[in-house]
Amino acid sequence: MDNQPDELSPRRRRLLFRARHRGTKETDLLVGGFVSDRIETFSEQELDEVEEILELPDVDLADWLSGRRTVPGELQSPMMLRLLEASAVPGAGLPQDMRKS
């Protein structure tokens, strides 16, 4: 999706900004790309789940999304599992026009 932040609700704009500005480039790309591609379609409950993920430490997210460490069982929410699956795809985090088909 080509999201225009100005067209999103304030909550969605805030979450998109937070997802894209995590602190490390790796998680900015993986988490930001995942949220950016889906922000328009997330339900309110899914937005709550995204907020929970955004509260997690950046270093842990980077390790989990890269496969260096396993996500603890108590954090394996449906949204986290979707994020892990999306992060495992070759080219994850790159803009869609730069991904190999």
Residue 1 is predicted with a pLDDT of 45
Q: Please give the residue that has the higher pLDDT: either 23 or 34.
A: 34
Per-residue model confidence as pLDDT tens digits over 59-85 = 999 999 999 999 999 999 999 999 999
Which structural domains are found in the chain, ordered by start?
Answer: 5-90 (1.10.150.250)
* Cβ within 8 Å of residue 12, ≥6 positions away: 39, 40, 42, 47
Q: How many residues in total does the chain contain?
A: 101
Q: What is the pTM of this model?
A: 0.84
* Cβ within 8 Å of residue 77, ≥6 positions away: 49, 52, 53
Per-residue model confidence as pLDDT tens digits over 18-29 = 999 988 898 999
Mean pLDDT, all residues of the chain: 89
